[in-house]
Amino acid sequence: MDIFEKCWNYKPAKIARKKGYYPYFIPIDSGQGSEVTSKGKNLIMIGSNNYMGLVSHPKVIEASRAALEKYGAGCTGSRFLNGTLDIHEKLEQELADFTNKEAALVMSTGFQTNLATISCLVAKGDVVITDRADHASIVDGCRLGFGKIVKYRHNDMNDLERVLKNIGDGPGKFIVTDGVFSMEGDIVDLPRVVELKNKYNARLMVDDAHSIGVLGPQGNGTAAHFGLDDEVDIIMGTFSKSFVSIGGFIAADFDVIDFVKHHGRALIFSASMPPASVAAVRAALKIIKAEPERRERLRKNANKMREGFQAMGYNTGTSNTPIIPVLIGEDIKTFYFWKTLFQNGIFTNPVVTPAVPPGQALIRTSYMATHTDQELDQVLEIFQRVGKELEIIP
């Protein structure tokens, strides 16, 4: 058998392109603000993770430009060797302070951060316990480790306790969960997770990719949101959402960070985060801390949209964050809904299996602090009109 046979037999994308409802890899030819253009078409963007609306902020752009001029375009090496700049270390100290931890470690992508951290900490004989709705990077990080993987039902604390009880006292136990779940838009029941973590002598890592900037008194994440900073052993975050750049980090006790620095293969054997990206994150972090009104505006925008969708008859699941899924069900129906929204000037993201369970396809919408009421009202009007046309809502 030819190893490429699976490629030749892969039909779904070809069929979708032929029928005109292929929704992925759409080129955007403008900045990623609350409105974008694609091939000259104006669209209201409700498919971005630019929660704070900082992607085009003058201070962020100026900081990136200054770093580019001082350090050049890249680092040409890994953090482990020649790729550590002084601004990497400055950012790490700022992130440690921001998350109330002893130390932090910056990596080149969020996906890489989970791969490096989980795979090197979960050794043979250990057990890693994950929520079934955890991000793919957590799933793959667990697969790279040499320990056993056990999953519990999404945000079901009774099921988590069942899993922990069955593991027993012998193995090292490591709970890894999203803080805000990227498709459902709900928040982990962190107080209960912490209670079980302590009861069964486990360690806890929270992936705050969609929480940093959004939750917490300063935008400092899920643990701070619940006042449980000291109870979360590792806080992980990304820079591709609220920090409008690229990269990721973990924050924890010094010894944990030091171990990952010397054993995380995805870190050691990857080129380091480019200087312009580092500078953008540092500038965004300052703005996030200095302008809490952005979080308040984001919260109001999300509430407006959630209540608006629900009033029309849409099912938004368990969302209580700026990520608001609109549940459709069938994959094909979801694709056609996405296409019609796009044709009417709305940029959204269709999510189908295997990203969600079969029969639970959805349109993933997400919001920014910089969306205007006029833009959001227009989105609601289009969702109502298109939803009725396609018989998705009554």
Choose, from 182, 211, 319, 366, the residue flagged as catalytic.
182
Kindly give the pairing relationship between strand 173-178 and strand 127-131. parallel
Burial of 94 (0-12, 13-18, 19+ CB in 10 A): middle
Residue type, 17: R
Structure tokens at 115: 């791969």
Please tell me the distance from the alpha carbon of residue 194 to that of residue 184, in angstroms, as a whole number. 21
Q: At what angle do helices 190-199 and 157-167 cross, to 10 degrees?
A: 20
Q: What share of residues in the chain are helix, strand, coil (percent, to 5)? A: 45, 20, 40
What sign for the dihedral angle of Cα 60, 61, 64, 69? negative
Q: 79 near 262, Cβ under 8 Å?
A: no
Q: 193 near 204, Cβ under 8 Å?
A: yes
Q: 2, 13, 116, 62: which is closest to 280 by C-alpha?
A: 62
Choose, from 241, 272, 339, 371, the residue flagged as catalytic.
241
What values do phi and psi take at 156, rounded to 5? -100, 100
> Is 366 a catalytic site residue?
no
Structure tokens at 323: 């990520």
Alpha helices by DSSP H, the chain: 5-8, 12-19, 58-71, 86-98, 110-121, 136-144, 157-167, 190-199, 222-226, 254-263, 265-268, 275-290, 293-312, 331-343, 373-389
68, 73, 77, 80: CA torsion to nearest 10: 20
What sign for the dihedral angle of Cα 375, 327, 318, 231? negative
Choose, from 101, 210, 339, 371, the residue flagged as catalytic.
210
Please tell me the distance from the alpha carbon of residue 192 to that of residue 204, in angstroms, as a whole number. 12
> Is 210 a catalytic site residue?
yes
> Is 154 a catalytic site residue?
no
Kindly give the pairing relationship between strand 41-45 and strand 35-38. antiparallel
Active-site positions? 182, 210, 241
